[in-house]
Structure 1
Amino acid sequence: MQERSRMLIGLSTIMMLSAYFLPLWQIVLEAPQYPEGLEMKIWLNGITGNVEQINGLNHYIGMQHIVVSEFIEFKILPYIFGILILTGLIAAIRNSKRLLHIWMALLIVFAIAGFVDFYFWEYNYGHNLDPRAAIKVEGMSYQPPLIGYKQLLNFLAGSFPAIGGIIVGIAGAIVVVVIIYEHQLTKRLK
């Protein structure tokens, strides 16, 4: 790999470290009775924000309480992410295109698995409702959108990357650009 490529890979691993210090995703709820809105920030190892208020509202429509300790993801994600970052760092230090390609494949698999897991988490919470709930609307589910906004009764629910998720996404894009650049360079040299 070119020295510039190795430096960019090193930079992307440093950027990915932000996942340990910044929230990766956020869910916001806007409604007339909450003009300041309610939010949950999803981190690598937990959830912060207005979780208790949201749990209180969810109770009325029969949704389960969101309890961080019940998510195995928050226990294993810091380790998985550490392995991913270490793999990228080793690829840069060893100057290994093969390891760089393996790293990119792992990042893609991790991203897809993360979105699928998040979708099923949202689906479970939005569809598996307590039949004894105080508020029941026939045929209504309360699954927030995976990305974007969705109207849920009088709440507008939004789901999108937080600052840590944006930084990690940019770091992943850098990896893709480096691989394309190195591939094009190799083609030209042949």
Structure 2
Amino acid sequence: MKKASLLMIIGSLLLLGLFKFPLWNIMLGAPQYPEPLGMNIYIDGIQGMNEFDIQNIDGLNHYIGMKTIPKPKDMWEFTVFPIVIGTMAALGVLIGVLGFFGNVGYQWFLGWLVVMTLLGILGMYDFNLWMLDYGTNLDPKAIMKLQNPDGTPMSYKPPLLGHQKMLNFDAYSYPRLGGYLMGVGMVLTLVAFLVGKRSKNIKS
């Protein structure tokens, strides 16, 4: 059980990487931009990959009526997410420590993982809703008004995951180091549960 508890502690601590490294990244490439424009999404804000990326993206978006890239004060998520991640990391470490000293069973590891998984799904759902609003709720007074072949307004929503063609831009959306660290941490907590369960069965 001690080995399982150590894995639980390490897995939980990996979540803290989100306070340093970006969770997600969106890149925009086009022939007129030899170096693609990109933005890194952190749990507490959005930053351009290069100095003027956010400014350039906002400039392009202005022509088609998209909103500017939100500042931390513009989205409640950038206040809540750090609290949620910090709380889950601390809770995971506490469960791991209690498990190390035999005060809780391995089932608590799975319980933490289930809660963290649900929070992750809700976070992705919220992220997708934000991108949907960002790409479809356009200013009717925009300089450019483009339509689909069926006459409906064109959507500029970036993909949640993967690649999508948007006019002459190629949009790419993938996790970054913080997201991968979180994923590894969650896998370690699953391993901790399995190791703890196996240890319990052997003793029985």
TM-score range, shorter chain: over 0.9
TM-score scaled to structure 2, two decimals?
A: 0.88
Q: In the TM superposition, what is the alpha-carbon distance from 1:65 to its structure 2 partner? A: 1.1
Aligned to 2:86: 82
TM-score scaled to structure 1, two decimals?
A: 0.94
Aligned to 2:166: 152
- Supply the RMSD in Å over aligned alpha carbons: 1.4
Of the structure 1 ranges 111-120 and 179-188, higher mean CA displacement relative to structure 2 is found in: 179-188
What CA distance in whole angstroms lies between the structure 2 residues aligned with 1:176 and 1:132?
A: 51
- Say whether residues 1:114 and 2:123 are aligned partners: yes
Q: Secondary structure in 1 aligned to 2:88?
A: helix
CA contact (8 A) 2:109 2:192 kept: no
Where in structure 2 are there 5+ consecutive unaligned residues? none
| 1:48-99 Cα deviation digits (max 9, x unpaired) | 0022211111111111112222111001111111110011001111002343
Of the structure 1 ranges 177-186 and 107-116, higher mean CA displacement relative to structure 2 is found in: 177-186
Aligned to 1:60: 63
Aligned to 1:10: 9
Where in structure 1 are there 5+ consecutive unaligned residues? none
Q: In the TM superposition, what is the alpha-carbon distance from 1:156 to its structure 2 partner? A: 0.4
RCO greater where, 1 or 2, for CA within 8 Å and sep 6 or more? 2
Q: In the TM superposition, what is the alpha-carbon distance from 1:185 to its structure 2 partner? A: 4.1
- Say whether residues 1:51 and 2:54 are aligned partners: yes
Which of residues 177, 188, 197 is equivalent to 1:183? 197
CA contact (8 A) 1:29 1:155 kept: yes
5 Å-filtered alignment, 1:97-136, equals 97-136=106-145
| 1:23-70 Cα deviation digits (max 9, x unpaired) | 111000001111100011011111100222111111111111122221
5 Å-filtered alignment, 1:18-57, equals 18-49=17-48, 50-57=53-60
The percentage of counterpart residues that share the same residue type is: 34
Which runs of 4 or more aligned residues in structure 1 lie more than 4 Å from their structure 2 counterparts after TM superposition?
187-190
CA contact (8 A) 1:87 1:99 kept: no
What CA distance in whole angstroms lies between the structure 1 residues aligned with 2:38 and 2:31?
A: 15
